[in-house]
Amino acid sequence: MAYTVIDKSTDYFNSVLYTGNGGTQNITGVGHQVDWTWIKHRGDTEGHGLFDVVRGALYRLQSSGTTVSSSQSGTVTAFGSDGFSIGNNAEVNANTASYVSWNWKAGTSFSNDASSTSVGSIDSSGSVSTTSGFSIIKWSGANATSTVAHGLGVAPKVLLVKSLANTTTWMVQHTGIGNAKEIYLNNNSASGNSTAWNSTSPTTTVFTVTGGAGDGVNHSGDYIAYCFAEVKGFSKFGSYIGNANANGAFVYTGFKPAWILIKSTGAGESWQILDNKRSTFNPADDILMADLTNAESTVSGRATDFVSNGFKFRGTEGGTNTTATYIYMAFAESPFVNSSGIPTTAR
């Protein structure tokens, strides 16, 4: 059996840098159909803008806040087969400004009528890639414990859930903290005990969400979930313990990383984002933080080597490598070994 089913990672995920022009433009060169794009102004305090095909063009969420999904003029105006189009909104296209976009492909339309299929207890719809283990799933809150079909065919290990109509926090279920806890994408709080998931891990067909006004996953109005299952050689989600040493902890992924999101499970540390396009050589130390609007900064204490089979820390800063437990999400630049048995090169 081949090591991986995805030899060319950019068919499903890619980071693209671009310069704003203050008008309109098409951002191309992504390498795949864009179904979810996450955009950040690198040099200013504009918020992170998250856009997807399920909610539709112009409809923005922000990882750095609890805003509802609302139409924002001049943002992402269309999704394309090799990128997306943008208007003149400064969040995505200020003149001469530098931006990063992180882009995922789902690609296959998905709809589940729970009463007809007997899969899940409430209806869901969205876009799915079973090849890359990614789906975007939308449902209407039932204010009760419910199961929602995710379409992946294997159990997802990470769920990023946001109410579209209410200013509730981003809820994250992550394999690294278990199904009885939650953590919040829009702030630096510690992981905490949770009733949101009914202490139930996702299955190969559904994930579980509970009702109630306080949990932000299934109360009232519509919800969106970005669901991620592991694919060998392409994606990895887990946890590690830092060692507070410049010869830092090593995390095995089975691929050379292209993008990493890291969060301490303790309080006070933000969600760190590293990628291979803003930091083109080791150590990678150009940091953006998912829960903050801060401009990009270079932080030597969070320096990280992207290696052929994982990532290794070269600093001792609290965001990535103190003696704490961390969770992470990682996507590949290239698999450690491709389907023909050829190993990747070091960075």
Structure confidence by residue, pLDDT tens digits, 114-129: 999 999 999 999 999 9
DSSP letter assigned to residue 143: S
Buried b or exposed e, range 139-157, using 16+ CB within 10 angstroms:
bebbeebbbbbbbbeebbb
Are 263 and 327 within 8 A, CB to CB?
A: yes
Nearest CA to 344 among 311, 319, 307?
Answer: 307
Quote the pLDDT of residue 1: 52
Contacts of 201 (CB under 8 A, 6+ apart): 155, 179
**Of 227, 234, 232, which Cα lies nearest the Cα of 11?**
234
| Dist CA 258 CA 134 (whole Å) | 16
> Could you identify the residue written with the tokens 């203050």?
22
Do you know the residue count of the chain? 347
Q: Which amino acid is at 75?
A: T
Cβ 235 vs Cβ 149: under 8 Å: no
Of 65, 54, 67, the C-alpha closest to 139 is: 54
Residue type at 43 in one-letter notation: G
Alpha-carbon torsion angle 287, 293, 294, 296, nearest 10:
40
| Coil, helix or strand at residue 11 | helix
Report field, pTM of the whole predicted structure over 0.85 = yes
- The 8-class DSSP code of residue 295 comes to P
Q: Is 151 within 8 Å of 135 (Cβ atoms)?
A: yes
Residues (pLDDT < 70) of the chain are: 1
CB contact at 8 A, 200 and 301? no
How high is the pLDDT of residue 70? Answer: 96
The C-alpha angle 250, 15, 7, rounded to 5 degrees, equals 70
Q: Which residue, 187, 173, 178, is CA-closest to 215?
A: 173
CA nearest to 143, candidates 223, 213, 206: 213
Q: ∠ CA(220), CA(224), CA(229), 5° rounding?
A: 135
